[in-house]
Copies of this chain bind each other. A is one copy, B any other.
Amino acid sequence: MPNEHDHIVRSYDEEQQRLTHEIQRMGAMAVAQLEAALDVMERRDDNAAERIIANDEAIDALEHEVSQDVMKLALRGPMASDLRIILAALRIASDIERVGDYAANMAKRSMVLNTAPPVPHTGGLHALGRLAAEQMREVLKAYKDLDADAAQRVRERDTELDLQYTALFRELLTYMMEDPRNITPCTHLLFMAKNMERIGDHATNIAENIWFRVHGDQHPLPPREKRDDSSAISRA
């Protein structure tokens, strides 16, 4: 009997590890997609963009697997701490899935930009994208290490990304006003920039779920001010 019990316990742990591992893999894929999308934008490479768009399905499929694994884990009769793991896993997987969507959307918009002459204003977007990718990488490391303090630091750094986004937003509006031919491409850049800012929000959500997984609801993080400062720009 003790043997059987050990067996059950071990394989429960194994399933939990499998879950965490799947999420790690999802996260690594989403970051790779994001970085590929940023690269593709610079190189104006439609074939690579198409691959990024197609790859997004793999991330979606992984999220589906995570949900299945969560179901299996919960069926085993979870205890309170396990539920925290499960709830955090579901939410983190969903945030990663969205990051993958934004990377694919960036690749799509790059292809549209490639139908017109190159726009010279992509440097700021590239920098913003790199910052977003960095935030994602850091928060996924914090999840791997279950390091709530590192997660908290990622969350704090989101302000930097918001500031860069707001500056880029203003800059793009200026280009649009200078020359009406800039309006269509810069509108795509605006949406791409917004996507990068949203990726930062998802990194923040993941950080909050790491904190919740480690500390539970008893020690909630202090509330943060809402982001999206571009909505406060009345005139550029």
Residues of B contacting A115 in the complex (Cβ-Cβ under 8 angstroms):
234
Contact of A173 among B83, B184, B235 (CB under 8 A): B184
Q: Is A112 an interface residue (CB 8 A)?
A: yes
Q: Which residues of B contact A228 (CB under 8 A)?
A: 105, 108
Write out the residue numbers on chain B whose beta carbons fall within 8 Å of the beta carbon of A67.
Answer: 87
Expressed in whole angstroms, the Cα–Cα distance for A232 and B91 within the complex equals 30
A233:B112 contact, CB within 8 angstroms? yes
C-alpha spacing A116/B190, complex, angstroms: 21
Residue A155 CB within 8 A of the other chain: no
A77 contacts the other chain (CB 8 A):
yes
With the chains together, A112 CA to B105 CA distance in Å? 27
Contacts of A137 in B (CB 8 A): none
Question: Taking the complex as formed, is A177 at the interface, i.e. its CB lies under 8 A from any CB of chain B?
Answer: yes
Which of B83, B108, B112, B183 sits near A75, CB closer than 8 Å?
Answer: B83
Chain A contact residue count (CB 8 A cutoff): 42
State whether the Cβ of A236 lies closer than 8 Å to any Cβ in chain B: yes
Collect the chain B residues with CB atoms within 8 Å of residue A112's CB: 231-234
As a 0/1 sequence over residues 157 to 191 of chain A, the CB contacts with chain B under 8 angstroms (1 = contact) are: 00000000000000001001100100110011011
**Could you say which residues of chain B place their CB within 8 Å of the CB of A126?**
none
Is A109 among interface residues, defined by CB-CB distance under 8 A? yes
Enumerate the 3 nearest inter-chain pairs by beta-carbon distance, A residue then B residue, closest first.
A115-B234, A108-B231, A177-B180
Q: Which residues of A are interface residues toward B (Cβ below 8 A)?
A: 67-68, 70-71, 74-75, 77-80, 83, 86-87, 90-91, 94, 105, 108-109, 112, 115-116, 173, 176-177, 180, 183-184, 187-188, 190-191, 194, 217, 228, 230-236
With A112-B231, A112-B232 already in contact, 13 other A-B pairs whose C-beta atoms are closer than 8 Å:
A67-B87, A71-B83, A74-B74, A74-B83, A74-B86, A75-B78, A87-B90, A105-B228, A176-B180, A176-B187, A184-B234, A190-B190, A191-B230
